[in-house]
Amino acid sequence: MEAIERRVAWLTISVAIVLVFSAAGTVYSFEGLGTWELTVHIASLVCLAGAFVLLVASLTPASIRPFPLENRDRFAFFAFVLLGLAVILIAGLAIHGAVEAHRHPGIGD
């Protein structure tokens, strides 16, 4: 196994874990979600989907579509950037949710 394949495999596992916790483990009630909050949540999911597409492109076998090693490395880098952006967006939503829960205790009980 090449070094790029190992990096992409670990990155794919990381993206999958973040996607699971972002989509299923969200602490937000979509009922009271504001427009900007929904936009940020959708943007984080789009970032994760883009990262998956780039990771699949970087693992494409040469028999289907030959990509040079430089391009595969570039795809993995941009997938990592999108993963980082998604984590920042998700963390921002979590921080906002915590601040709002502190400001308005008892709402939602």
Structure confidence by residue, pLDDT tens digits, 24-40: 555 555 566 778 888 88
Q: Specify the DSSP class assigned to residue 104.
A: S
pLDDT digits (tens, 9 = 90+) for 46-95: 999 999 999 999 988 888 888 888 999 999 999 999 999 999 998 888 88
Radius of gyration for the alpha carbons in the chain, expressed in angstroms and rounded: 17
What's the mean pLDDT when you consider all of the chain?
85
Q: What is the reported pTM?
A: 0.83
Tokens 């993963």 belong to which residue?
A: 83
* For helices 3-23 and 35-58, angle between their N-to-C axes, nearest 10 degrees: 160
| Identity at 91, one-letter amino acid code | A
Q: Residues with Cβ < 8 Å from 102, sequence gap 6 or more?
A: none
Instruction: Say what the pLDDT of residue 38 is.
Output: 84
